[in-house]
């Protein structure tokens, strides 16, 4: 049975909502008269969902949403909106509230909305638990030299790495920054053999060069091979191009004061900054980057 915490300073409204929820066999109702009391109760009754008014003395509904999102990110909040609270409701939704029901339509929509939100949350939690059990997965992509594929691939990897729990959300961004640098290096410098100097010139001329080489051999038929391997203690990202390769040891150090004014050359630096291991094959046309899971969130450990 799921506990619903109803937060409203008006006794008549609490009674109304309680009456509506009592029609559902699978819900148990707890009440709080204000945001502060709601937060206190959450420590003891562990609600599956919170239904709150927006306008309350002291901590209002928006502030309550912000507190719940921060302290209990797995507990969804449904807003009860009245006339004149639309802007606050939008702010609360942006802050993380799951849904809203107009007070004038509670009879029609509240129970349905609570069940819908609980279904989504249960499904999400099941998925998270399944991903906690993931031991290994591997994806391979063969990409043409089409820059439009880079944002799509990164977006996919972002959701994959997040879902598999390789690292926390901010670290996923760092992984994606490194991956983006590797992909752009491989596509533009590797397959299309464009130089840093060309990149520093007129941006539209540079784009013309990209367009020209993308349609001309030997560049046109070259592909990017990308492997994403999720293991129980790390994520491995391998990007291989079909260009002639390069010697990474001969790249100038972009942090050397003498090189700070150089426009480009910082891609490898960011890859090394945000990944735990970065290595190249002997030809220099394949980079392997490893991000290790912090011990507590290693995939394969079943969440308690």
Q: Which of 4, 16, 62, 210 binds other proteins (CB under 8 A)?
A: 210
Phi, psi of 73 (to 5 degrees): -60, -15
Cα dist from 163 to 72, 130, 166, whole Å:
19, 10, 8
Nearer to other proteins, 101 or 289 (CB): 289
Phi, psi of 217 (to 5 degrees): -75, 150
Nearer to other proteins, 108 or 259 (CB): 259
Residues 82 and 53: their CA atoms lie apart, in Å, by 8
Site for other proteins in 180-199 (CB under 8 A): 180-181, 184, 188, 199
Give, as one character, the DSSP assignment of residue 84. T
Nearer to other proteins, 119 or 211 (CB): 211
Nearer to other proteins, 115 or 266 (CB): 266
Query: How many residues sit in the footprint of other proteins (CB under 8 A)?
Result: 38
**Strands 224-230 and 137-143, bridge-based pairing:** antiparallel
DSSP-derived 3-state class of residue 264: coil
In angstroms, give the least distance from the CB of 233 to other proteins: 23
DSSP-derived 3-state class of residue 102: strand
Element of type H or E holding 79: strand 77-81
Q: Which of 72, 109, 206, 246 binds other proteins (CB under 8 A)?
A: 206
User: If binding is defined by CB under 8 A, does position 170 make contact with other proteins?
Assistant: yes
Residues 141 and 221: their CA atoms lie apart, in Å, by 15
In angstroms, give the least distance from the CB of 194 to other proteins: 10
User: If binding is defined by CB under 8 A, does position 251 make contact with other proteins?
Assistant: no
User: If binding is defined by CB under 8 A, does position 204 make contact with other proteins?
Assistant: yes
Q: How many CB atoms lie within 10 A of CB 244?
A: 12
Q: Which of 79, 101, 176, 287 binds other proteins (CB under 8 A)?
A: 176
Question: By rule CB under 8 A, what string of x and - marks binding of each residue 130-159 to other proteins?
Answer: -----------------xx-xx--xx--x-
**Strands 49-53 and 77-81, bridge-based pairing:** parallel
Q: Which of 263, 279, 281, 294 binds other proteins (CB under 8 A)?
A: 263
In angstroms, give the least distance from the CB of 253 to other proteins: 10
Give, as one character, the DSSP assignment of residue 115. H
Residues 157 and 212: their CA atoms lie apart, in Å, by 29
Which residues contact other proteins (rule: CB under 8 A)?
147-148, 150-151, 154-155, 158, 170, 173-174, 176-177, 180-181, 184, 188, 199-200, 202-204, 206-207, 210-211, 254-255, 260-264, 266-267, 269-270, 273-274
């Amino acid at each position: 049975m799921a506990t619903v915490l109803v937060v409203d300073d008006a006794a008549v409204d609490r009674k109304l909502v309680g009456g509506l929820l009592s029609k559902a066999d699978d819900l148990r109702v707890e009440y709080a008269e204000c945001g502060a009391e709601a937060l206190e109760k959450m420590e003891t009754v562990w609600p599956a969902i919170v239904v709150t008014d927006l306008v309350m003395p002291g901590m209002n509904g928006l502030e309550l949403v912000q507190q719940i999102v921060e302290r209990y990110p797995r507990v969804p909040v449904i807003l009860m909106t009245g006339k004149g609270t639309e802007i606050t409701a939008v702010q609360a939704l942006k802050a993380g509230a799951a849904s809203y029901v107009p007070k004038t339509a509670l009879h029609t929509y509240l129970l349905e909305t609570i069940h819908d939100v609980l279904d989504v949350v249960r499904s999400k939690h099941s998925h998270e638990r399944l991903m906690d059990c993931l031991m290994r997965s591997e994806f391979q992509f063969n990409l043409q030299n089409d820059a439009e594929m880079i944002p799509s691939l990164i977006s996919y990897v972002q959701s994959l790495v997040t879902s598999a729990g390789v690292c926390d959300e901010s670290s996923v961004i760092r992984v994606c920054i490194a991956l983006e640098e590797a992909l752009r290096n491989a596509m533009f410098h590797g397959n299309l053999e464009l130089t840093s100097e060309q990149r520093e010139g007129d941006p539209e001329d540079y784009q013309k060069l990209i367009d020209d080489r993308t349609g001309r051999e030997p560049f046109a038929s070259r592909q990017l091979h990308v492997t994403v391997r999720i293991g129980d203690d790390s994520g491995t990202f391998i990007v291989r191009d079909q260009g002639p390769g390069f010697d990474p040891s001969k790249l100038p150090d972009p942090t050397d004061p003498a090189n700070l004014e150089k426009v480009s050359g910082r891609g490898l630096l960011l890859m090394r900054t945000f990944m735990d291991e970065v290595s190249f094959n002997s030809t220099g046309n394949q980079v392997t980057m490893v991000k290790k899971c912090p011990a507590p969130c290693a995939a394969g450990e079943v969440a308690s």
